[in-house]
Structure 1
Amino acid sequence: MTNSEKVVSFSKLLFLVFISSFPFLTNLKGDFVFDDSEAVVKNKDVFSNSWKDCFFNDFWGTNIRSNVSHKSYRPLTVLSFRLNYFWNNNQLSASSFKVTNLLCHTLCCILVWLTYRELMNPHSSGLKYFDLSYYSALLFAVHPVHVEAVSGIVGRADILSGISFNVAFLLYSKCICSKKTSYLYLLLSIAFTIISMLFKENGVTVLGFCICYDFVKKMTTSKNKDINYILTDTMFLLRVSIVLISLLFILYGRWIIMDGSKPVFKEIDNPAAFQDNLFIKITTHSYIYFLNGLLLIWPQWLCYDWSMGCVPLIKSVSDYRIIFPILMYTFAVLLMFSISKKQNGNTTKRLLILGSTLTVISFLPAANVFYPVGFVIAERILYIPSIGYCLLISVGLHKLLVKTRKYNIVFILSILLIINYTLRSKEKSRDWLNEYQLFTSGLAVCPLNAKVNYNAAKVLDARSKTKTALSLYLEAIRLYPEYYQAMNNVGNLLKDQERYAEAEIYLKSAIKIKEDNPTAWMNLGIVLAKTGHYKESEGAYLTAIRYRNKYPHCYYNLGNLYLEMGKTEDALQSWLQTVNLNPKHFLAWTNLIALLDNTDQLDKAMELIPKALAEVPDAPSVNFAVANIFGKLDRFQESEKYFTRAINSFGKRNVQAIHYANLGVLYHRWKKYNKAEAMYKNALKLDPNFESASRNLKNLYKLTRH
């Protein structure tokens, strides 16, 4: 390679690194979103003391042999999450995780370029007009279907699997070309296949593609094109045999890890897989294949979730959607026929076969052919199949160039496609900045998806857009009448609006669908308490605790109920149980100390105060309750300290008249009359009708006049 060629290659590499990063840079300051919460934030394997736990659990932190496990065994991906956590000083930083995802994507793009170069035959004629391998790599780098894989931290499994997928293929290609060290390359290729599979399950498909590549290369480069001659090639047969035997052992090992049991999914996750009617199953799955292909060809409709009604079942021949899979299969047959035509050049034929097989084989694990999967469509699983698709697009553009000879038009078309993909990826990556943007963006694509409506309602509720949130929750229930989580949240919203009768209806409906739903039982208990049905409320709370023994917030609400019922000892015991289960529950600490204060159990209060301040030292309500206790004991300096800390912690927006008034009483008793006067005035400024502050101020004036 000449110096000028080295400069050109290096320039191409730099541009590939730039363009693979550019569309996703805006997402780097984003949050953990959607599945990131379960796979990273709540996954104990990411921050546990043991680095080995991830090898015994599934991707979500559940024991891989458990009946409730999703059986997604990706320990190396979880290990990469753990490394992110370790490198960031044992802190969970979404930006750190997202930067790692982007770096991995850039590395994968470089390896994909090398794979394309290996697939091309540099000595072949007919592909001389532009660098087909580089253009294919650019397409792959910016394809909008990769937004979920790059911008969603969970998508790292697909990227890392893609990296090792390409390495495994490149090693296998070296194995074919090398004679002396061929078996070493073959063993390394199999090793990287195992690594790819430990990143994500579909990595194992690289062995299938390697066999196809080996056979196609033999057929297109061998002087003797007779298939019988190819099948008697000892080296070829030995390689294929080793690969097939290795594949069987790998799959058997995976089955053993799963304890010989398949994952259990719900019908709402993948409705077509649960259909007994063969027509519905085949036609719906075929339509889903078409939609996956459409996302690659025209990535206009991208959504983070495609479950729960997003793709309705095709139940009859009259459904117009049935025409699309028919057209897809017709195109596939025509493509195979076109490839088999003798007049096609060897290089073009080989690339069309390899591009097609790479796309199809790597998609097979998600195709519901061998086993059902837990999703309808997941854009991130198209990360590896898109390698084959981008190659097909490049070959198509090249053929167009050869046939039309319209160099400028085809060149402009090629550039416009890259620009379009780049801008679309940049636009969609913004949706992954936070859950509000992600969930609300899904409504435009999948308005029939109950989960999309539910998630959008949650983020809108968090932003106090309760009216819109309520309508979306109700829409989710309409789309999926057994959506008990949505019913529970509707009940909560109605409860906050003091529409207790309606709230009770929705909460009871949620419980009817799922009786062992502790959250709904607790919320029902709150509603019943608000309407004065104390006995029924107590029963609801106790039922919630029966289904979830360690439920601190339920014990807290039960304590509030007992206080309403005048059962002060039971209230104390409930709040003690709350802080035992959750020592950071500052509301329970506040109520405990305040009740002990009101019942003159100051000795008990003094025992609890050090524990409360150790657990929640900055909680203003706890500091206020502690200040009242010290004030009663005439420990004025300590009382002043905690009153001042409480008022400063509350801030101007949340401080109330009683906070100033009680501090005024302390100063009054401490004979610091000027300070007492100032506090009483502050209280009356916040609440001019505060009688005790007004009365105390008058008494202060009478005292100071004398």
Structure 2
Amino acid sequence: MGYCILVVHGLNRLCAVVGRWGAAALTVSMLLLLLLFSWKTVQQNEIWLSREALFRSGIQTLPHNAKVHYNYANFLKDRGRNQEAIHHYKTALRLYPRHASAMNNLGTLTRHPEEAERYYRRALDINLQHNRALFNLGNLLKSHGKEEEAELMLRDSIRFGPQFADAYSSLASLYAEQKRFAEANETYLQGIENCPDSSDLHNNYGVFLVDTGDGERAAEHYQQAVRLKPAHYVAMVNLGRLLRSANDNKEAESWYKRALLVTRKVDILTPLGALYYNTGRYEEALQVYREAAALQPDSTDVWLALAQVLAMAGRSKEAEKMTMGIISKSSSCIECYRLLSAIYSKRGNHTEALDSLDLALQQNLADAGVKAELHFSKGNQLREMNQLNQAFESYKLAVELNPDQSQAWMNMGGIQHIKGDYAAARMYYERALLLTPGSKLLKENLAKLDRLEKKLHGR
């Protein structure tokens, strides 16, 4: 304000000296100057309207400043504008080749693992203690099976950045994959001690505890993750799954719904839909799966789940039509053929059910367990059609692929029982009983067999 008063006072003194025409010219000049400065102020104000405008202004003002390009690249990277970010990281490195963080961040945006590794190693050549480069290189090596070097990198990342929570999670995950559970547990606890405010660390530790059978403690850490970050929907879903596995469906549902208040994602909708499906709430399941399908229209799993709910809700024609639509887009969908088989079987169309299972078996099946289940289902269809010899062969194929398939052994015993080969029936029943010693049905079948054999011997 003092400066303004001084300018006005000086202008008045000048006007008194230069006369009337001079005063007019001076006034016009001053007004033009004011307009010019006002226009410049308006222009500068536009720069402050957004962070990006500020960064762009900085680059225009200081085009040869590496730090300005690096900061703008970070902004672009956070916005997912990766190609622009790469350009500015490279510009920063051209201006200052020893910028380790620019080198590291460029590695994270590189699609080719070999190139990314070169960037991380160059960053570490510049700064051996760059904990982010150590972390990124450790994760890259871990993904390529170089576990010993990965462990060294992650340990160094923690040593040089003890408040970097992600490094603890990665190292603990590596230990868990190697079955070094005590070391994994110790690493998580060390991370929580050094990074008590990391919600992700608590969530990841919860996942580890579930995997190692300590669900009660896992629930505590999931809840702590949510307390630290009330919008942590991943921890909410994990807690919901844990409660669901403990048959606490009401609490599980409340956590899924709480997660949906944060964001409407397929990863949240599908477990909620599964909960409704498994508890017989089919209309609610349909509503949830339809929303999931709208969000992810190309997901075979979501459409298949929707078709399964329709089938269970008694809307078999809709389920059949939807399943056929999925197969038309993805002919290798094994579960689609199984669902069609179940739909046809429920209608009593065993031939069509059998055809669907044959189509499933014609697919390129890598999982022996899935193949065993298909042969078992085929055996059931053949048995319903009273084709006992073929059914027996299907059950036999099932147990060859999966010797722990108790029901298949029992059904083989049942077929031999019907055919009067009691010795073979007993052998199959007893094999099934070894797998399921608490089965009442097996014990009843063996008791019937005993009575029949006694009658035969009595004759």
The residue aligned with 2:300 is 689
Q: Is the 8 A contact 2:192 2:202 kept in 1?
A: yes
Q: Is the 8 A contact 1:504 1:527 kept in 2?
A: yes
Q: How far did 1:443 drift?
A: 2.0
Q: How far did 1:679 drift?
A: 4.2
> Aligned partners of 2:256 and 2:92: how far apart in 1?
47
Q: How far did 1:403 drift?
A: 11
Q: Is the 8 A contact 1:684 1:690 kept in 2?
A: no
Partner amino acid for 1:477?
L
The residue aligned with 1:558 is 171
Q: How far did 1:533 drift?
A: 2.4
> Aligned partners of 2:256 and 2:180: how far apart in 1?
29
> Aligned partners of 2:291 and 2:21: how far apart in 1?
85
5 Å-filtered alignment, 1:451-530, equals 451-494=67-110, 498-530=111-143
Q: How far did 1:636 drift?
A: 1.3
> Aligned partners of 2:213 and 2:271: how far apart in 1?
17
Does 2:233 correspond to 1:624?
A: no
Q: Is the 8 A contact 1:587 1:621 kept in 2?
A: no
Q: Is the 8 A contact 1:538 1:558 kept in 2?
A: yes
Q: Is the 8 A contact 2:286 2:310 kept in 1?
A: no
Q: 2:60 aligns with which of 431, 440, 444?
A: 444
Does 2:10 correspond to 1:133?
A: yes
> Aligned partners of 1:700 and 1:571: how far apart in 2?
43
Does 2:275 correspond to 1:666?
A: yes
**TM-score under structure 2 length normalisation:** 0.59
Partner amino acid for 2:279?
W
Q: How far did 1:473 drift?
A: 1.1
The residue aligned with 1:259 is none
Compared with structure 1, are the counterparts of its residues 670 and 568 closer, same or farther at alpha carbon in structure 2 (3 Å cutoff)?
farther
- SS in structure 1 at match of 2:300: coil
Q: Is the 8 A contact 1:683 1:690 kept in 2?
A: no
Q: How far did 1:407 drift?
A: 4.2
Compared with structure 1, are the counterparts of its residues 569 and 694 closer, same or farther at alpha carbon in structure 2 (3 Å cutoff)?
farther
Identity %: 25
> Aligned partners of 1:449 and 1:571: how far apart in 2?
44
- SS in structure 1 at match of 2:134: helix
Deviation string, structure 1 residues 540-596 (Cα, Å, up to 9, x no partner): 111121112232122123234334445445444434444444444333333333333
The residue aligned with 1:156 is none
> Aligned partners of 2:199 and 2:223: how far apart in 1?
13
The residue aligned with 1:425 is 41
Q: Is the 8 A contact 2:199 2:224 kept in 1?
A: no
Q: 1:412 aligns with which of 19, 23, 28?
A: 28
The residue aligned with 2:424 is none
Q: How far did 1:641 drift?
A: 0.7
Q: Is the 8 A contact 1:439 1:456 kept in 2?
A: yes
Q: 1:646 aligns with which of 259, 264, 272?
A: 259
Q: Is the 8 A contact 2:222 2:238 kept in 1?
A: no
> Aligned partners of 1:429 and 1:673: how far apart in 2?
57
> Aligned partners of 1:426 and 1:681: how far apart in 2?
50
Compared with structure 1, are the counterparts of its residues 480 and 596 closer, same or farther at alpha carbon in structure 2 (3 Å cutoff)?
same
> Aligned partners of 1:610 and 1:587: how far apart in 2?
12
Q: Is the 8 A contact 1:586 1:616 kept in 2?
A: yes
Q: 1:637 aligns with which of 222, 234, 250?
A: 250
> Aligned partners of 1:662 and 1:516: how far apart in 2?
42
The residue aligned with 1:86 is none
| Higher relative helix content | 2
Q: 1:675 aligns with which of 279, 284, 287?
A: 284
> Aligned partners of 1:614 and 1:547: how far apart in 2?
28
Does 2:3 correspond to 1:112?
A: yes
Q: How far did 1:614 drift?
A: 3.0
Partner amino acid for 1:492?
T
Q: Is the 8 A contact 2:135 2:157 kept in 1?
A: yes
Q: How far did 1:680 drift?
A: 4.9
Deviation string, structure 1 residues 140-172 (Cα, Å, up to 9, x no partner): xxxxxxxxxxxxxxxxxxxxxxxxxxxxxxxxx
Deviation string, structure 1 residues 602-641 (Cα, Å, up to 9, x no partner): 2332443443443334311111111111111111111111
> Aligned partners of 1:620 and 1:473: how far apart in 2?
33
Compared with structure 1, are the counterparts of its residues 444 and 633 closer, same or farther at alpha carbon in structure 2 (3 Å cutoff)?
same
Partner amino acid for 1:111?
G
> Aligned partners of 1:602 and 1:695: how far apart in 2?
32
Select the structure of larger CA radius of gyration.
2
Q: Is the 8 A contact 1:500 1:531 kept in 2?
A: no
Compared with structure 1, are the counterparts of its residues 584 and 698 closer, same or farther at alpha carbon in structure 2 (3 Å cutoff)?
farther
Deviation string, structure 1 residues 393-439 (Cα, Å, up to 9, x no partner): xx9xx59x859974443432232122212221231233234431111
Compared with structure 1, are the counterparts of its residues 491 and 676 closer, same or farther at alpha carbon in structure 2 (3 Å cutoff)?
same
> Aligned partners of 2:46 and 2:202: how far apart in 1?
42
Partner amino acid for 2:166?
H
> Aligned partners of 1:683 and 1:434: how far apart in 2?
35
Partner amino acid for 1:690?
D
Compared with structure 1, are the counterparts of its residues 558 and 674 closer, same or farther at alpha carbon in structure 2 (3 Å cutoff)?
same
Deviation string, structure 1 residues 366-409 (Cα, Å, up to 9, x no partner): xxxxxxxxxxxxxxxxxxxxxxxxxxxxx9xx59x859974443
Partner amino acid for 1:628?
R
5 Å-filtered alignment, 1:571-610, equals 571-610=184-223
> Aligned partners of 2:79 and 2:163: how far apart in 1?
29
Deviation string, structure 1 residues 315-337 (Cα, Å, up to 9, x no partner): xxxxxxxxxxxxxxxxxxxxxxx
Q: How far did 1:598 drift?
A: 3.5
Q: How far did 1:505 drift?
A: 1.6
